[in-house]
Amino acid sequence: MNVLEKIGLAALHRIDPERAHDLSIKALSWGLVPLQGGPVTSERLRSTLAGLNLPNPVGLAAGYDKNAKAVASLMKAGFGFVEVGAATPYPQAGNPKPRLFRLAKDRAVINRFGFNNDGARIIASRLADRPAGIPVGLNIGANKDSRDRAADFASVVATAGPVADFLTVNVSSPNTERLRDLQGAEALAALLEGVIATRDSLEQRPPIFLKIAPDLDDMAIQEIAAVARDCRVDAIIATNTTLSREGLLDPQAAETGGLSGQPLRMRSTVVLAKLWRATGGAIPLIGVGGISSAEDAWEKIRAGASAVQIYSALVYHGLSLAAHIAHGLDGRLRAEGMTLNDLRGSGAADWAQK
């Protein structure tokens, strides 16, 4: 992190978290943020994920650029891929404010946004205007007042599928009432069948990813793995935010919503490893949760991830973290004479027992 980035972060931390978030998006969209200039890459870092060519395995998780307003700049921040959204069929305001909280003592964040977004049509139009470069995907969800949430997901696929490099089915946000009920085997299978059928009807057929919660028991993980395999999901993202508050120090830990950041690291990595074992490594996995260093990313890949995503750590370390993690992975792979394929899943058995 350079001096300018430190000053910028310090200034943002002096104001309301959601206002700071919105200001950072505006600064990026206006080209005011110094950036890497493109993705960090090397022969060791390049890989293919669900048919997507990644210059490096470090991605941006959904939730930061909800409305795809800063995509062009984020594509220059060092990431190997970017995910925006979540998008719902119709615009919605989300939950009442305040709804975003920094837990500085825990290096964590709590949010209860509730899928606030400009709607699929507007977001898709912005994605259509992005420059060529790294893969950019869209996280998709259902409107809060929807009477048919499965139909909502299919609707967003039809609208945004032609312009997104991948689509992530988000049934794991804790901030939309009863959304996580869709992770049950029967409901999830029906939802995914509709999503994939809609995707298959498009001329452009982006891969379909599934994002799951970290608050799943072993049986639920096995069921999700089976459904994902049967429905031919292209990748699984593990994990979304948690409802757990175990071990937190910050007084704002009492706020409701999904917890992300450092306290989620071990919980999400254990779920990832169990999912790797449940799928036999046959479905690509993307590790998310508590990654703030190259060492954290290394552990996620050892647990079974083909790629990783970061978000909450950017609040404390800035956008330069993406390039820092990618360079760190590259250096360690070189030093240990390994490839990403060598590393992937090599520690899954150990992590699954924790």
For 191-202, what is each residue's pLDDT tens digit? 999 999 999 999
How confident is the model over 169-184, as a mean pLDDT?
A: 78
pLDDT score for 174: 78
pLDDT score for 340: 98
Structure tokens at 35: 């950036």
Is the pLDDT assigned to residue 133 strictly greater than 90? Answer: yes
Q: How far is 206 from 119, CA to CA, in rounded Å?
A: 19
Q: How far is 325 from 143, CA to CA, in rounded Å?
A: 35
Is the pLDDT assigned to residue 172 strictly greater than 80? Answer: no
Element (H, E) at 59: strand 58-60
Q: Tell me the CA distances in angstroms from 168 to 234, 302, 315, one per residue in order.
A: 10, 23, 23
258, 241 in Cβ contact below 8 A? yes
pLDDT score for 109: 98
Structure tokens at 84: 């925006």
Q: What is the pLDDT of residues 200-234, one digit of tens each?
A: 999 999 999 999 999 999 999 999 999 999 999 99
Angle at 181 between CA 177 and CA 182, to 5 degrees: 110
For CA atoms 144, 150, 153, 155, give the dihedral sign: negative
Is the pLDDT assigned to residue 175 strictly greater than 90? Answer: no
- Known catalytic residues are 173
Structure tokens at 190: 């029906």
Structure tokens at 113: 């946004």
Is the pLDDT assigned to residue 177 strictly greater than 90? Answer: no
285, 233 in Cβ contact below 8 A? no
Q: What is the pLDDT of residues 283-295, one digit of tens each?
A: 999 999 999 999 9
pLDDT score for 184: 80
- Of the candidates 228, 108, 253, which has an alpha carbon nearest to the alpha carbon of residue 171? 228
Q: Which residue has the higher pLDDT, 282 or 354?
A: 282
pLDDT score for 160: 98
Q: Half-sphere exposure of residue 325, counting CA atoms within 13 Å on the CB side?
A: 34
pLDDT score for 129: 97
Rg (CA), the chain: 18
Q: How far is 282 from 50, CA to CA, in rounded Å?
A: 11
Q: Which residue has the higher pLDDT, 303 or 181?
A: 303
Domains and CATH numbers, the chain: 35-352 (3.20.20.70)
**pLDDT-based confidence at 319, cuts 50/70/90?**
very high
pLDDT score for 171: 87
pLDDT score for 272: 98
Is the pLDDT assigned to residue 79 strictly greater than 90? Answer: yes
Stated length of the chain: 354
Query: Does pTM top 0.85 for this prediction?
Result: yes
Q: What is the pLDDT of residues 141-155, one digit of tens each?
A: 999 999 999 999 999
**At 109, is the secondary structure helix, strand, or coil?**
strand
How confident is the model over 340-344, as a mean pLDDT?
A: 98
Element (H, E) at 83: strand 81-87
